[in-house]
Structure 1
């Protein structure tokens, strides 16, 4: 019976206030058979945000969004506070319990391993983003039940890892230092359908229009039918479209897995672990955006089901701690489903 590594789909971002842009592709520790490590996969990811820590006490407390004045103004109007929210085009929104945001991704991923020493990976996402606000204050005519839809190609990520294997009589250690680069290939200037054709807010754009550099490190310890995965990475981003720069972020995960053989060809791998991300504040024209950045911790459970060269993967994440800068919309549950087919070259 072939032994397998655990599939850790850590591309599920630990979305802090940077929403879908925190670090979509920082950590991914690929599934692989010992004899066959190259693969192609398709993934579906879904994550949701709703609820706030606080709600405005007065209807006069409104938020003016990018790109109109790039600030929050709580009456009187001569006291602006720089902020950032993903509402779109120079309108106003009053935070409500009905507000929510959903980010869905269909992603193609290819992986090639050269001589069991070098690993090359690409990730290409297509994004479907939806933002709903129950109280959308388009002065002087307030609008209720406003929904914004944005979809398009996300940025291409390319990654390279060096694979170092250490074998003992009963255990195996795998160390994988590497680096990933996200290229400004996605759609970062998708426009809204309102009268003035301005691009949507950078946070809900499918792409960034910027380069990101992501050094990362993964370690796996495998003992008979169980093991542990540990990974961490740090992301530096350059300024992208609309003079917007996403904050640098750090993330890490710890995961335990156990392998169960069912018959001669079927392998079941349940897993459980923790995921953490911390991000700095974003910058708009060099000015810190107060409602961005923070820390989020998730608990996650999942299962991988492998049949010969095909693997199905499912992961569920739930936040248990989040410390965000300001009164941002909160992280909620997210899922990831993947289908992988390995091959030899």
Structure 2
């Protein structure tokens, strides 16, 4: 069973993140998607689910028994944004993870609050508020940290379980992110990319650096009651091999590409987001006897946009303010 645990490369942050650490899904949680109201705050919840199959085929070796594992990774993100100014925004994600590993030789469940993320975004430009323009676009870039608050030393039968199955990584990691949206009348394209630079935890273990990117085409449909945004595109994720000290770990790292379809619904201050992903390409770093396959994923989220009303200044306050300007 020790060997099958070593090949379980599944864990997510992906739609996107969402549960396979070797394919970068832990970073997937940085995904925010198409957010048309840049000057408002928001608060929301997002549920993501992914599953993977892993197996070891010893090719009828009489000394070893074939092993397999079917694993499901669920994630609930508490997420929000606070707009400091027209250009500066602070985004945060606090995940709650529920991992189920069901193997031929072992079954393990793990749940708890994971590693939260905090990012500061800077909006380089945004022409979305210029309704008279046929072309509208916006670009935001940001950076931040992932804090090591989740459990990362969970054990089963006296032995530490697979690192990818842990709730946290135990390391302080650094994040880079960008989000670009281009729209011509009702048609548009959204591109989002992220990179996570991982550090070692207290045990000297370091997850491979991870990156992901997505590109979606969308069409803006408006009705008197709701705005509908159907979308379709691709999502790609990649991760380097893990290191235990200076030793590269077998069966870690790899890449995957998913086809994505979804829809966003906007009604007043509410934004409902649904995504469904199907794997198109998978290339995991595995030994010859090991196979790993990612299954379909889905994500659903609900956000509430709001803003604080500015207090009206009294005439005396206005005079004082003018003197200091």
Classify the TM-score, shorter chain: 0.7 to 0.9
CA distance in 1 between counterparts of 2:93 and 2:296 reads 23
Q: What residue number does 1:55 align with?
A: 57
Cα 1:201–1:166 change in 2 (3 A) is closer
Structure 1 residue ranges, 4+ long, deviating more than 6 angstroms after superposition:
none
Q: Is residue 2:294 matched to residue 1:334?
A: no
TM-score (norm 2): 0.82
Give 1:287's match in structure 2, choosing from 236, 244, 247. Answer: 247
Give 1:303's match in structure 2, choosing from 249, 263, 267. Answer: 263
SS in 2 for 1:23: helix
Say which structure is richer in helix: 2
Matches within 5 A, 1:137-216: 146-167=106-127, 169-192=133-156, 194=157, 196=158, 198-216=159-177
Between the two proteins, the alignment pairs up a number of residues equal to 289
Give 2:220's match in structure 1, choosing from 256, 259, 264. Answer: 259
CA distance in 2 between counterparts of 1:104 and 1:344 reads 31
Give 1:95's match in structure 2, choosing from 59, 62, 67. Answer: 67
CA distance in 2 between counterparts of 1:61 and 1:186 reads 39
RMSD of aligned alpha carbons: 2.3
Q: Is residue 2:40 matched to residue 1:37?
A: yes
CA distance in 2 between counterparts of 1:27 and 1:175 reads 15
Q: Give, in angstroms, the shift of residue 114 of structure 1.
A: 2.3
Matches within 5 A, 1:64-75: none
Contact 1:202 1:242 in 2 (8 A): no
Q: What residue number does 1:23 align with?
A: 27
CA distance in 2 between counterparts of 1:116 and 1:30 reads 17
Q: Where do 5+ consecutive residues of structure 1 fail to align?
A: 1-8, 63-92, 137-145
TM-score (norm 1): 0.77
CA distance in 2 between counterparts of 1:173 and 1:272 reads 19
Contact 2:18 2:26 in 1 (8 A): yes
Q: What residue number does 1:271 align with?
A: 231
Contact 1:26 1:234 in 2 (8 A): no
